[in-house]
Structures are given as C-alpha cells and as structure tokens.
Chain A
Amino acid sequence: AQKVTQAQTEISVVEKEDVTLDCVYETRDTTYYLFWYKQPPSGELVFLIRRNSFDEQNEISGRYSWNFQKSTSSFNFTITASQVVDSAVYFCALISNFGNEKLTFGTGTRLTIIP
C-alpha cells in the first residue's frame, strides 16, 4: 500500500515571503517516483516536477525548489519570493509498484498569497 500525506491543509503568506509545502510518503517499494502538481482555480493540473527514488539531489527551478529526503520519506516544496500567481492548490503524488502508472495523491495544500 502507498500513501501520501500533506499535513498542511491551507497556508497563507504575504507576497514575497518564502513558503514550504510539506509532503510525506509511504511505500514499501524501493523504486518509486514522486510528483508535485499545481491546481489553479481554473482546475487543470499542472505538472511541476518528477523525482525518482534513486536521485536524492535537490532541485531548483527558478523560484521553486524541492528537497527530497529518503531518510524521513519527505519531498518538500519551497517557493521563494512568493507571488500572487502562486496561489493554488498543490498536490504531492507518488507512483510505486513499478509498471503500474497509478498516481496516489495527497490531500493537497491550498496556498494563498496575500498581496
């Protein structure tokens, strides 16, 4: 069985502040992939990143960065210098059981950036 936990239901920060969204996962497989998706008010899911279980290097993409720690089964997402356009619901997701493309989603974190 696999599970993704996003303990933060809602977060509000003032524009230009940094914010970190937490994601903790559970899986018994040694090979798995972790994802982050953004869901703006329009509803579509926007792919942000995929990370495999063998690559613990942190990644930075512009104002976005991700911290993958296998020791704590966490894959946290940080937005630096937040902007109003970052307001959305963010989902962390997991695929394990290699060969099965089913995504297990966390419950999502609603991020509101206050101008």
Chain B
Amino acid sequence: GAVVSQHPSWVICKSGTSVKIECRSLDFQATTMFWYRQFPKQSLMLMATSNEGSKATYEQGVEKDKFLINHASLTLSTLTVTSAHPEDSSFYICSAPTGTGAVAEAFFGQGTRLTVV
C-alpha cells in the first residue's frame, strides 16, 4: 500500500529555535497533504492543508506565521515550527490522500513528537 514517511520521528529543541518536519509520499504523488496536531490522550486536530504549488490553507485558530508550511514538490511537504515554545510540544502527524475527493484513502506518516525545553 501507499507509504507516507515523516521525519524526524522525535525532536527536542530549545525554546526560541525553529524545527522543520518533513512529510514525504514515497510511492505516489500528493498534490495535497494534511498536517495534524495531537495532544496527549486527545484526538487529531487538523492544522492546515498543504497544497503543492500554492499557499497552505490554515484552520481557524492556527497561526500561519508560527507554523510555516511549504509543499515544494508532489512528494514533499514540510512544516516548520518557528520560535518554538514549550506549549508547542505535541505530536505532529501528516497525511496524504492517494487520490482526489472522498474516495481517496488517506495514509499517515509515523508522526513527530516535538518537545520544546
């Protein structure tokens, strides 16, 4: 089946620094990718939709200047957490649908556990 690879799987950074997380579709092209955030013992909350060749679409309440998204190619989307603070510590996970519309099957990356100290 389709594979989505996310890197790194975990990262610890100092407060005030920036962290980049990569999401790659390994055997299919994804014009759209999604970024989610999951707090401990909670559900996944959609942060933004990454669109290849255009600006990302952010969900209400998500700071676009803090969570920079770049969809540089049909197989790669990156999420950069800028000037990270402890409250940004969370589990970030990306997904990529293998097609278009609701028929698409969404495959998820392994997730990135970010800890800001």
A residues contacting B by CB (< 8 A) are 31-33, 35, 37, 42-45, 47, 50, 52, 91, 95-103, 105-108, 110
Pair A101/B93 contact, Cβ less than 8 Å: no
B residues near A45, Cβ cutoff 8 Å:
44, 93, 95, 108, 111
Closest to A108 in B: B43
What is the total of A-B residue contacts with beta carbons within 8 Å? 66
Closest to A97 in B: B102
Closest to B1 in A: A47
Closest to A46 in B: B108
Q: How far is the CB of B1 from chain A (nearest CB, A)?
A: 8
Q: Which of A37, A44, A52, A108 contacts B110 (CB 8 A)?
A: A44
Residue total for B at the interface (Cβ-Cβ under 8 A):
26
Q: How far is the CB of B43 from chain A (nearest CB, A)?
A: 5
Pair A95/B102 contact, Cβ less than 8 Å: yes
Binding site of A, secondary structure by majority: helix, strand, loop or mixed? loop
Pair A102/B49 contact, Cβ less than 8 Å: yes
Q: How far is the CB of B2 from chain A (nearest CB, A)?
A: 9
Interface centre among A35, A95, A110 (most CB of B within 10 A): A95
Q: Which of A96, A98, A102, A106 contacts B43 (CB 8 A)?
A: A106
Pair A107/B111 contact, Cβ less than 8 Å: no
Separation of A95 and B40 alpha carbons in the complex (Å): 24
Pair B43/A101 contact, Cβ less than 8 Å: no
B residues near A35, Cβ cutoff 8 Å:
106
B58 contacts partner chain A, Cβ-Cβ < 8 Å: no
